[in-house]
Structure 1
Amino acid sequence: MHAWPASEVPALPGKGRDLRIHDTATGGRITVDPGPVARIYVCGITPYDATHMGHAATYNAFDLVQRVWLDTKRQVHYVQNVTDVDDPLLERAVRDGQDWTELAERETALFREDMTALRMLPPKHYIGAVEAIPGIVPLVERLRDAGAAYELDGDVYFSVETDPHFGEVSNLDAEAMRLLSAERGGDPERPGKKNPLDPMLWMAAREGEPSWDGASLGAGRPGWHIECVAIALDHLGMGFDVQGGGSDLAFPHHEMGASHAQVLTGEHPFAQAYVHAGMVALDGEKMSKSRGNLVFVSALRRDGVDPAAIRLALLSHHYRSDWEWTDQVLADAVERLARWRSAVSRPDGLSADALVDEVREALADDLDAPAALAAVDRWAERQNAEGGTDEGAPGLVSRTVDALLGVAL
């Protein structure tokens, strides 16, 4: 599966700061210290609907991570998946009378268009669950043969009790895990499981649903968590720098994935940092496909909204915060974009050397994009009011905003 085209990232003078970021597993801020190549895995979409603002906010957060690392003169090895076969996708296809593969392909293509418009840097490897199945099957067989998985009516489950580190990603108690498991795709009430929290690794073929040859597992399809584990281990290996996604993925998805990988390899941890973006609401409720309370990136683009303004709307909220999308949020972003473009349109201006440092420091400090925006606001306000004589300043500000915030002025 191919990703989307990359926009050019301007080079800035000097060198950026190392990233300090909140790690869900430790509950505090840590300094991520990659080698020459920083490794990041971000969980991708299940393509049964278009990209909404909740998706965009999450991918914007991890785009900032990449940009901070690139500014430190590192290379970035970014991997993202597409869950192109799963219950919600199949259910939507049946509801709408569509072929599930055509639905997945169409929505994935639209997602690529949205990411391109928003200037999100693409992953080096963009892998669909279906194409990953040949690598998933041997991992499930290894877990079963090691006694870390068991069969139940043809389905294969992972035993969470085989990982001594289970629970260390989300730090939730058993009851909270059980409730979230039921809410987020698990089946804790299924009779016969060794532990209600045990997640499915391989689902035996169901009538009327797609299935693949699972070798000794029989025909079926993979569970959700093992999909990402297989892709991450194949392309990044154990101990990569950042595992990312929305805060609703901390449990069960990232917790279960970490346990799968740690039992498979005998190593710990799966990722050095688990980083989670907040949720975006609309009309007082979390924006979600199941509720249907969605604002789509593609719809805004069709209405003529500048993608740079959409991106500024996302950047105006700290990535870890839960916030609400409103017409005013977008209006403020449109107005900010106009102010910034006016400020950099002059042939000369106020020195921007200090501004570059401010933006770098803000982003290195747990991706504090609102602080970075405020720094540019202050420069733009003075530039529009007073002007200056530095001929290189407007261009430097434009390059800084593009390189570090992904906004083209």
Structure 2
Amino acid sequence: MCNIDILRHDFPILNKIVNDQPLIYLDSGATSQKPQCVIDSLNHFYTNSNSNVHRGIHTLGDQATTSYENTREKVAQFINAVPKEIVWTKGATESLNILAYGLSQSLKPRDIILISALEHHANIVPWQQVCAQTGAILKVIPLDETLQKITLSETFKLIDIYKPKIISLSHASNALGNIQPVKEIIEYSKKYQSITIIDGAQAFMHLRPDMKNLDCDFYVFSAHKALGPTGLGCLYGKYEVLNTLPVYQTGGEMIKTVSFEETIFSEAPSKFEAGTPNIAGVIAFGSAIDYLDKINFNAQLIYEKALFLSLRNQLENISGIKLYGDLDQNIGTISFNYKNEHPFDIATLLDQYGIAVRVGNHCTQPLMSSLNIEGTVRVSLAFYNTKTEIEVFIKHLKQCLSLLD
């Protein structure tokens, strides 16, 4: 891995001063920061090759189309898939909605959709809507007795009981950082031919998933949580399953032929990419993938793990702090509360020191209800954070907590 001090220079915002203090950004779970190469890519496209894709027979159009499709190939290679299995979307949320809409067409009353108690609202609400429309039933894998994670034994038991048509799970919890045992669940579910969907929004940058190894039917993620621009996401699908889904939106580009009597749609992925796409975002995401490819993945894992352990150990030594989640299998995210203090008060005080954390229910209200809390303070790390930042965070956190006592 690159020297961390050198690598941090690639992220211009990390030099920012907030409230007269150097920024300490501990909210990468909400969105990652962007290296200069991604910012430059956006600017370069609009300055030098702005054109629509798949349309104009001219130099700019050819350049834009080539760069746009090159990113599809880069992402496919990054996750060990093939380009025709990569669909561009607005984000993981839209990807899940495309799947919910498409798969609902084949559901019958009392078919089971299985999710976990750790899911983001984006992996709950679409399935609730599907159940309301089709008569299917949503079932939830509960937290274990410690209220920290789900277990394989309970999950396998529920799969055997319900024989679900669809299983949709987060690869890693956005609220707690838990890495879910999705590979084992995917493998076990094959005995019932369940369709498996993995929400990789939080896991993509930290775990670099391999689609051949996971062997799920669908995997979704958002570019902005992996150094890329906002407003862009990806839906991976095994081609034979992906191509059977009905179109989600209609318009230009995603059709083969149109007459006033009939429309014939293109094959995947084009059939799911109606209208002018986020061309600049896709191309810039290609630069983000190039950047990630230059970082040794094993070194990144080791470094992020060391950061997380340092943070966890120091938080555990503060009297009155309660930590939530699986603190062993974790992508580098810690949620905590302090005594009976409101998390918003803690975050507001930390902001005065230039420290950015997230507070609230993290779009996981059912999970917070299970934990019998309204929300948490969440610290989410990335490889561009440092141990010095963690030490400064802990120092100022203690000062903030002393003001609240």
TM bucket (normalised to shorter chain) is under 0.3
Question: TM-score of the superposition, structure 1-length normalised?
Answer: 0.26
Question: TM-score of the superposition, structure 2-length normalised?
Answer: 0.26
